[in-house]
């Protein structure tokens, strides 16, 4: 099967399974989304959704969060991975938003990536899920599945992002990245399938016999 045919398979299966793509991170505004995405690094979305209610109750606005010292933020998020570093980043990020952005989350990749704790993937999620701009955030699920489906060689996440943007239409990016994440969790996880068992892998590579060894991001 040619690559463009695999692209069609991916789009068809994912659209059938996941016609709706709600954000997996609970939030009421773009600032809460930004904080939740920052917390999700090396932490499950389920865990993030467990800790953010307490944090957002303490600090229901950017200015309230900016007034919290890092140790109080840490009390709410301590069960997340890398919690001490994240608490410091949230404190500094919130103060920067107050000082430099009128307590608003900036609506550009360049400005978002200037914020403490915010890398390109976090900025991409905020731009796509928060502001609705076309973006293709690549997490470990997408990086792994794109390799299993023969859509990228997996050199690194930046390369995977470029390949996925080239293969799929821009107006599908925001929805598609969530569809792939959902599929990766439910059908083609890191500890199952290995390129052999899920519907997309079997359809795209019906003669594949050996597990696919994917490159880590």
The CATH number covering residue 167 comes to: 1.10.1670.10
Task: State the pLDDT at residue 182.
Answer: 96
Select from 130, 157, 187 the last residue of a domain.
Answer: 130
Q: Would you state the pLDDT for residue 112? A: 98
Given 28, 99, 139, 165, the catalytic residue = 139
Q: How does 13-39 read in b/e, with b if 16+ C-beta sit within 10 Å?
A: bbeeebeebeebbbbeebbbbbbbbbb
Q: Are residues 36 and 110 in the same domain?
A: yes
**Is 210 part of any domain?**
no
**38 and 123 belong to one structural domain:** yes
Same domain, 96 and 118: yes
Instruction: Please give the model's pTM, rounded to 2 decimal places.
Output: 0.94
Q: Which of 81, 113, 130 is the last residue of a domain?
A: 130
The reported pLDDT for the residue numbered 161 is: 97
76 and 148 co-located in one domain: no
Query: Residues in the chain, how many?
Result: 217
Expressed in angstroms, the distance from the first to the final Cα of the chain is 26
Q: The domain that contains 44 carries what CATH number?
A: 1.10.340.30
- Identify whether the C-beta of residue 74 lies closer than 8 Å to the C-beta of residue 87: yes
Q: Could you tell me if residue 105 is inside a domain?
A: yes
- Sequence-distant (6+) residues with CB within 8 A of 52 are 25, 26, 27, 32, 35, 36, 39
pLDDT at 216: 84
d(CA 82, CA 114): 20
* pLDDT by position in tens, the chain (length 217): 999 999 999 999 999 999 999 999 999 999 999 999 999 998 999 999 999 999 999 999 999 999 999 999 999 999 999 999 999 999 999 999 999 999 999 999 999 999 999 999 999 999 999 999 999 999 988 999 999 999 999 889 999 999 999 999 999 999 999 999 999 999 999 999 999 999 999 999 999 999 999 998 7
> Would you say 119 and 113 are in contact if contact means Cβ atoms under 8 Å apart?
yes
Is 209 among the catalytic positions?
no
Co-location of 38 and 126 in the same domain: yes
Same domain? For 45 and 97 the reply is: yes
Examine the fold and report which residue of 130, 165, 183 is the final residue of a domain before the chain moves on.
130
Residues 11 and 60 in one domain: no
Provide the pLDDT for residue 217. Answer: 78
Total domains present in the chain: 2
Q: What is the pLDDT of residue 194?
A: 94
Domain assignment present for 14: yes
Domain hosting 166: range is 3-20+136-204
Residues 162 and 125 in one domain: no
Question: Does 164 lie in the same domain as 72?
Answer: no
Q: Is 121 a catalytic residue?
A: yes
Give me the catalytic one of 3, 20, 28, 121: 121
């Amino acid at each position: 099967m040619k690559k463009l045919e695999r692209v069609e398979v991916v789009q068809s299966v994912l659209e059938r399974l996941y016609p709706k793509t709600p954000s997996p991170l609970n939030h009421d505004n773009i600032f809460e989304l930004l904080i939740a995405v920052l917390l999700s690094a090396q932490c499950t979305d389920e865990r993030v959704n467990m800790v953010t209610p307490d944090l957002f109750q303490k600090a229901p606005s950017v200015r309230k969060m900016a007034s919290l010292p890092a140790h109080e933020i840490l009390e709410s998020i301590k069960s997340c991975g890398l919690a001490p570093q994240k608490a410091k980043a949230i404190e500094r990020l919130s103060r920067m938003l107050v000082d430099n952005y009128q307590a608003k989350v900036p609506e550009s990749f360049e400005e978002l990536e200037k914020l403490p704790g915010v890398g390109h993937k976090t900025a991409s999620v905020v731009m796509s899920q928060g502001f609705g701009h076309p973006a293709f955030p690549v997490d470990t699920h997408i990086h792994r599945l794109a390799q299993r489906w023969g859509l990228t060689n997996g050199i690194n996440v930046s390369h995977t992002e470029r390949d996925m943007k080239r293969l799929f239409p821009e107006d599908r990016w925001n929805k598609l990245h969530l569809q792939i994440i959902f599929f990766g969790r439910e059908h083609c996880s890191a500890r199952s399938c290995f390129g052999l068992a899920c519907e997309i892998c079997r359809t795209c590579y019906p003669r594949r016999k050996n597990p696919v060894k994917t490159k880590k991001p």
